[in-house]
Amino acid sequence: METGVNIIVSGFVQGVGFRYYVFNRAMRLGLKGYVKNLYNGDVEIEIEGNRSLIEEFIREVKVGPRAAKVNDIKICWKEPEQHYKHFEIQ
């Protein structure tokens, strides 16, 4: 079942390869959307695809790359907009 989710990741997640980690996980799972740094130090992820694959993706994002420290993750499920052609780093 296709679904979408907006994720805000807080912690030590900028300058540690977090976006590239997210990009690689999303590409491996065939998910679409984007990841970008926010001005407040958080990272935003907008992603669409199969719900079970997104749930696997979220489990990996909660861990993050070795240098990162994820303190909090906010997840907001939503209807997929289906306008993403691939996954990208913004």
Cite the active site residues.
Answer: 19, 37
Q: Are strands 43-50 and 32-37 parallel, antiparallel or unpaired?
A: antiparallel
In angstroms, the first-to-last Cα distance of the chain is: 26
The torsion angles phi and psi of 52, rounded to 5 degrees, stand at -65, -35
